[in-house]
Amino acid sequence: MKPAVYFMDARSDSPDTSLIAKMLTVFDAARLGEMISPGDVVAIKVHCGEWNSSAYLRPVYARALADHIKELGGRPFVCDTTTLTYSPFSSRATELDLLITAERNGYTSATLGCPFICADGYVGTSDYRVDIPEGFILKEAYIAQAIAAADVLIALTHFKGHGMGVIGGALKNLGIGAQSKRGKFSVHMGGHPKYGVGGGVKFTPEAFKGKANDVNWELLENCCPYGLFKVTADDRIEWDRKRCVTCLGCLGLMNPRGIFEPLQEQFDATDAAIADAALGAVKAVGRNKVGFINMAVDVSPKCDCAGFSDIPIVPHLGVFASKDPVAIDQACVDAAMRSPGTPGSLSEEMGVAGAGQRKFDLAGAAIEGLSEQTTINTAVVNGLGSRDHELVHVAKAGPERFRFPPDPRPTYKRFGKLFEKFQPFPRERFDGQGFDRLPEVDLSAVKHPDGPKVSIHPHAPYHGDGTQHPAPSNGHAAEGHRHGHAAHSHSGDD
């Protein structure tokens, strides 16, 4: 039987069609709540976003999901893990940095209503090793301890592109995001004789232009956490490649200078390994204890691990839920392919904006030759899931479910007594009109696309001809009291 992927589109015109409501509605339709028994510890795995990225999922999604899990009797926590890269200025390499970044991005225990945890510990070495004999390339995985220890795991994923993984979906949320730091080293082919950076990258030291011509030469020398680069007195760059562990920290400096040439096979091997590592995460928690929600909104071409977020390459695609991570990622890839690209985005720039065109091979991947299907196909090979699926359109759940829960009473019951004490409408002022306003104006005069069609106030600071009036000598607004009332001016809070 084909796995089901439950889907709602991204249109919204009522509280029960908000994206938050849709997330909870597809969660229920996919019966993910049935995995949770009273008292179960439930890990909600998110990507909290890099410093200055802005397309990552708003924390309110995780909050609403955590609240719902509590209603079901579970004990939720929200988590992310330390990054592999120690690249210069990376913002999530340790628990300390991750928590600082997560907090800046809005992920805190206070906002989430449950603990926010760095799941693999301070350095990223708190983990649980899992054998994966079914793996296509990896035979073991190192799962972040807090995730492996959970009774139930919900991968709450922002579906988007990724420079190395091509797509950043449910599989990557587990295949990278649920791995400890050493798990991530393994997935990225750390120390691999053929696919690792040290093993396979083409090194062209002649591309280094010398200290005088590269103001960042000291950064080059100091970009590796193992200190494997040296700029010599005679202006050469040396690299101790035998000791390279493939942390990727140097690539952002070496690749653009031509000192390194990206190794496509490393990217392909990593994309395959993501699927194996995702299988490891599912095995660590239990096959029937892991559920998936993909929020295919703000589909930026690069991952939330970049320190920026480009224009989405396609419009919002919708909200998906499934018990199969392969099916749910395939459903999102299919939806992106069916969709036209966003005008002015990278999908247009790369010539893949047409409906029916694969988007991520060129608009997601950092180099040409990668495939948006590599991770998905590998996850079919290792038995994690199925590409074939049934897409089930889910109906909205009704407005009752999504009313403001702390006080569900209608307006008069909520506010009638309060208004008797604290009347916000000042009826007694200005002859019962309450506020100081003109009885009638020509509203059509300020609706014209070319600008206002009414004379500009003589004391307006900017004139229609672009000239600026000098500020009144007393430093206050020049407007007097039209009606002779002692109108109280204030700072403009509203």
The residue (of 194 and 459) whose beta carbon lies closer to ligand SF4 is 194
Kindly report the number of other CB atoms within 10 A of residue 393's CB atom.
10
- Binding string, residues 161-200; x marks residues near ligand SF4 by CB under 6 A: ------------------------------------xx--
In angstroms, what is the minimal distance from the CB of 317 to ligand SF4? 34
In angstroms, what is the minimal distance from the CB of 182 to ligand SF4? 14
CB 291 within 8 A of CB 154: yes
CA-closest candidate to residue 168, choices 66, 89, 53: 53
In angstroms, what is the minimal distance from the CB of 477 to ligand SF4? 58
The residue (of 171 and 244) whose beta carbon lies closer to ligand SF4 is 244
CA-closest candidate to residue 72, choices 60, 64, 61: 64
Interactions with ligand SF4, residue window 383-412 (CB under 6 A):
none
Please list the residues that pair with 295 across neighbouring strands.
158, 319
In angstroms, what is the minimal distance from the CB of 176 to ligand SF4? 16
Out of 224, 305, 326, 397, name the contact with ligand SF4 by CB under 6 A: 224
Residue 245 sits in the site that holds ligand SF4 (CB under 6 A):
yes
CB 358 within 8 A of CB 203: no
Residue 228 sits in the site that holds ligand SF4 (CB under 6 A):
yes
The residue (of 106 and 252) whose beta carbon lies closer to ligand SF4 is 252
Going by C-beta distance under 8 Å and a sequence separation of 6 or more, which residues neighbour residue 116?
Answer: 48, 77, 78, 79, 99, 102, 107, 108, 109
In angstroms, what is the minimal distance from the CB of 446 to ligand SF4? 59
In angstroms, what is the minimal distance from the CB of 129 to ligand SF4? 22
Q: Amino acid letter at 61?
A: Y
Enter the DSSP assignment of 451: -
DSSP states along 18-30: SHHHHHHHHHHHT
Out of 35, 153, 171, 244, name the contact with ligand SF4 by CB under 6 A: 244
In angstroms, what is the minimal distance from the CB of 201 to ligand SF4? 8
| SS3 of 119-148 | CCCCCCCCEEEEECCCCCCCCEEEEEHHHH
CA-closest candidate to residue 325, choices 392, 360, 276: 276
In angstroms, what is the minimal distance from the CB of 252 to ligand SF4? 10
Residue 249 sits in the site that holds ligand SF4 (CB under 6 A):
yes
Out of 194, 219, 226, 409, name the contact with ligand SF4 by CB under 6 A: 226
DSSP states along 241-303: GGG-----TTHHHHHHHTSEE--HHHHHHHHHHHHHHHHHHHHHH-GGGEEEEEEE-S--SS-
Residue 352 sits in the site that holds ligand SF4 (CB under 6 A):
no
Rounded CA-CA distance 252/190 in Å is 17
The residue (of 76 and 196) whose beta carbon lies closer to ligand SF4 is 196
**Taking contact as CB under 6 A, which single stretch among the options 49-57, 220-228, 403-411, 471-479 is the one that binds ligand SF4?**
220-228
**Taking contact as CB under 6 A, which single stretch among the options 152-160, 248-256, 375-383, 428-436 is the one that binds ligand SF4?**
248-256
Residue 259 sits in the site that holds ligand SF4 (CB under 6 A):
no
* Helix axis angle, 59-71 to 19-29, nearest 10°: 40
**Taking contact as CB under 6 A, which single stretch among the options 39-47, 76-84, 218-226, 285-293 is the one that binds ligand SF4?**
218-226
In angstroms, what is the minimal distance from the CB of 178 to ligand SF4? 22
What contacts 24+ positions apart, CB below 8 Å, involve 349-354?
Answer: none
CB 83 within 8 A of CB 96: no
Which residue do the tokens 């350095």 mark?
A: 123
The residue (of 146 and 247) whose beta carbon lies closer to ligand SF4 is 247
The residue (of 176 and 281) whose beta carbon lies closer to ligand SF4 is 176
Out of 141, 247, 296, 384, name the contact with ligand SF4 by CB under 6 A: 247
Kindly report the number of other CB atoms within 10 A of residue 54's CB atom.
13
Rounded CA-CA distance 218/200 in Å is 25
CB 117 within 8 A of CB 153: no
Gap between the terminal Cα atoms of the chain: 57
**Taking contact as CB under 6 A, which single stretch among the options 99-107, 247-255, 428-436, 464-472 is the one that binds ligand SF4?**
247-255
Residue 90 sits in the site that holds ligand SF4 (CB under 6 A):
no
Size of the site for ligand SF4 (CB under 6 A): 13
Out of 93, 250, 285, 394, name the contact with ligand SF4 by CB under 6 A: 250
The residue (of 228 and 272) whose beta carbon lies closer to ligand SF4 is 228
Give me the phi and psi of 270, to 5 degrees please: -65, -40
Out of 248, 259, 290, 353, name the contact with ligand SF4 by CB under 6 A: 248
Out of 105, 179, 246, 309, name the contact with ligand SF4 by CB under 6 A: 246
Residue 117 sits in the site that holds ligand SF4 (CB under 6 A):
no
Output the CA–CA distances (angstroms, integers) from residue 397 to 15, 20, 328, in the order listed: 10, 12, 21
In angstroms, what is the minimal distance from the CB of 6 to ligand SF4? 41
CA-closest candidate to residue 85, choices 203, 154, 213, 181: 181
In angstroms, what is the minimal distance from the CB of 246 to ligand SF4? 5
| Interface with ligand SF4 (CB under 6 A) | 197-198, 223-224, 226, 228, 244-250
